Amino acid sequence: MPMEILMPALSPTMSEGKLIKWFVKAGDKIKAGDLLAEIETDKAIMEFESPDEGILTKTLVPEGDASISVNQPIAILESAFSSTSKSNSEIKAKLSVAPLNTTKKEVKNYQTDPAIPEFSNKYSMKPEDVSDNRIKISPLARKMAEKLDVNISNIVGSGPSGRIVKADILALEHKEKTTQLEKSLEITGQEKIVMASDIKSSERISLTAMRKTIADRLTSAKRDIPHFYLRKKARVDKLLDARETINKKLHIKGLKVSLNDMIIKAVGQALQDNPYCNVTWGGDHIVKENFSDIAIAVAIQGGLLTPVVKNVTKKTLSEISLETKDLIIRSKEKKLTPTEFSGGTITISNLGMMGIDSFDAVINPPHGSILAVSQTQMVPVFGDDDNVEKATIINLTLSVDHRAIDGAIGASFLGSIVSYLEEPITLLSGTY
C-alpha cells in the first residue's frame, strides 16, 4: 500500500524547511529507522528516519529545496505490510542528535551535592581499544566516512560512549583538505592574483529557513508589540570580586563561572520577587509562570538561537555555567532539541563581549521582556564620603511588552536585578 511521507514539523515555530540531502533513492528497500534525509529547520539541522518498512518508490522534492511546507508530501513509500501500515498522521520525524559529554542529567545530579564534581571526558575512547566492526558510529557518520574514504579507526568520537558522529567526520575532512591545500601552496609557491575586474560589485544571497523565520518573527514583534524601555546602571565591583573568589576555588576542578552566568542567576531571582514579570503574552490572556526559565541569545552562523536555561533559581552557579556552555556549543552545531529552545518568559542578550556600551533589544515573542546587557566600564563616582573613586558599571536596558507588564512593575523588576548584581552575597545563599 503506497504511503505518503510528509515534511515533519521539527520545531514549534517551523512552518517550512529545507531538504539538504537524500540518503536514499527511488527503488531502495528501507527498514524502519533507516535514515531518509537531512532536514534544516529554522532552528537546527536534523536527521529524518523512516517510520516504516518498505520500498521507496519516489522522492517528490529535490535536494536543496528550501521552501517545503510542513505536512507537504516529500516521498512515497510502498509499505511492506499494507495491513498494518501507519497512517499519514503517524509519520513523525525521529531525531538522531548526539549530546555533548555534559548532559542535562549530569547537571541535575550535581545540584544536590555541595562538593564540586570531578569533570572528565568519560566518553573518550582510544581508537585502538576497539576493532573496526565494533566501533560505535551513527548511521549518517558511517555513510559519510565510506563516501569520503575515511579511516574511522583513527577517529576518537565526541558522542556518548565515544560514538562517532557527523561532526567528527566533517572535522577530519576539513583537516585533510587544509593539509592538502598547504602542500599545494608549498609546491607551487605562487598565489593567485585577483583582478579588480573579477570582483562582483554585489551578491544576491538567498534566505535560509532560519533567516526567514527571524525576519518574520522580529518584523511581527517590532510591529505588534508595544515596546517600552527601562534603563539602569549596575555597579558590579562586588560581583566581579565574588566571581574571582569563586573561580579560584573552582579552578582545580576545571570549572569557571562567567559574568553572564551570574546575571542569569540574578534575573532568575528577580523573576521570583516580581512574579507579574514572569509572564508571556497569549493574545487574549497572559500566562504567569512559576519557575524562572530564562532564554539566552546565542549568535550562530546565519542567525540567532535562544536556548532556555530551565528553573534557574534551583540551580547553583556552577550548574548554570555547565548548562549554558552545553547549550551554546550545541546551538552553534545546530544540535538542540525542540524542548531546549522552547519556553521561558525573558531573554538575556549580552553584547558586552563586542564592546557595546548600550543597546535596545527586540522582544522575542511570546516573552514579556528582554534584557540587553552591555560591556563593563570604568567610571568615576562619588563615594560615601564624597571622595571620587573608580567604579565598574554595566548598562542594562529592559525592553518590556506593555500589553503584559505595566511600567511600575517592570521598573521594580529591573531594580531587583540591579540589587542582586550589586549585592552578590544574595546570589550565593547555597553552594556555588
Catalytic residues: 402
What lies within 8 Å, CB to CB, of 225 at 6+ separation is 281, 363, 365, 401, 403
What lies within 8 Å, CB to CB, of 288 at 6+ separation is 275, 276, 278, 279
Residue 127 to residue 157: CA distance in whole angstroms: 9
Question: How is residue 432 written as a grid cell?
Answer: 556555588
**Contact at 8 Å (CB) between 374 and 394?**
yes
**Contact at 8 Å (CB) between 318 and 255?**
yes
For residue 30, the one-letter residue type is I
**Contact at 8 Å (CB) between 391 and 376?**
no
What lies within 8 Å, CB to CB, of 166 at 6+ separation is 138, 140, 141, 144
Residue 62 to residue 69: CA distance in whole angstroms: 14
Cα dist from 130 to 4, 135, 152, whole Å = 41, 6, 11
Q: Which of 310, 299, 286 is nearest to 401 (CA)?
A: 286
Q: Which of 225, 230, 221 is nearest to 401 (CA)?
A: 225
CB atoms within 10 A of CB 136: 16
